[in-house]
Structure 1
Amino acid sequence: MASPHRKGSNIEGILDVKRDKVTVSPLGLDITWGGDSRYWRIDARYVELIQVCWLEVNGSVEMKHLEKSTKYKLEFKIRMKPDAFGWNDSPVYIMAMPGKKAKCIWASVDLSRIKKSEQESSLIPPRLEFTTPGPESFHEDDRMSFGLFEIWKGRWKGGLVIEGVIISRA
């Protein structure tokens, strides 16, 4: 039986690595309930939340794509569709963890305040900053993990479009 969850792909093109920025395509994201078309629409350019009451989107990049002892910011590039629903009083949490021994860093964002649009994207949160480990604990084979969550309220929500994740120097 196929899983209702979607595992992100590791094929080429999922990551766009430039000197000061790593962009993760929506196809590189692990999405709880993302394998079920009743809940998510998957496209090469975006993933669209139809409806869920458990929002969990995760991803990671190899630390070799980031510099040691460097401050970065993590942002999700999103849109809120005009018919978006269920986001009032449901803060979304964004997490970054630069390496398996690193401390998890969290920020919350109120998606009900994001302008609803079919075309205009926003970067959220405005700034979730983290610093990569120094040479003594930096391992290139380690991973920088990140996520987007709203799993506590149990309310149905929809209309969120994720266009990618951007990790760039702060």
Structure 2
Amino acid sequence: MTADADVAEDAPRKASKLPLVFGFVLAILGAGGGFYAVQSGVLSGSDSSDAAEKESASETSNTELDVAFVAIDPLVISLPGQGGRDHLRFAAQLEVRPDHAAEVEAIRPRIVDVLNGYLRAIDIASLEDPATLPRLRAQMLRRIQVVTGPGRVDDILIMEFVLS
């Protein structure tokens, strides 16, 4: 019996996990305190960036935005007869810089042609999926920018996109 007791006393003791747990709790508290300090503004770092943001926001609200819109005539595109959906009605406006509005207006038939060709080539299943609208929008914008030239059209705003 004494041999068993000697073996148990000679075995190394397990290391305590208390310092590890204590360090983890301190790290969580430090991260939370740092987050709070930055969000509340105690540690802003640079007051000049906040002042610059406020100044630019006031300039934007005081000055008129330099944007013009060119309306695209509503398009009605016939779809292959599947599932009761026969037509797509599409209307959009192009966001352009005011000095390029006349140029974009002059080539509007070419823009309508590009949109017609693209929308006719799209699969009906992808038209019905709401998640594909941003991708369609990006594709249409890219095609319009190629037709109009660089720097003329900034964005396309979809006013109507109805499958009927």
TM-score normalised by the chain length of structure 1 = 0.25
Larger Rg: 2
Structure scoring higher RCO (CA < 8 A, sep ≥ 6) equals 1
TM-score normalised by the chain length of structure 2 = 0.25
Q: Structure 1 or 2: larger strand share?
A: 1
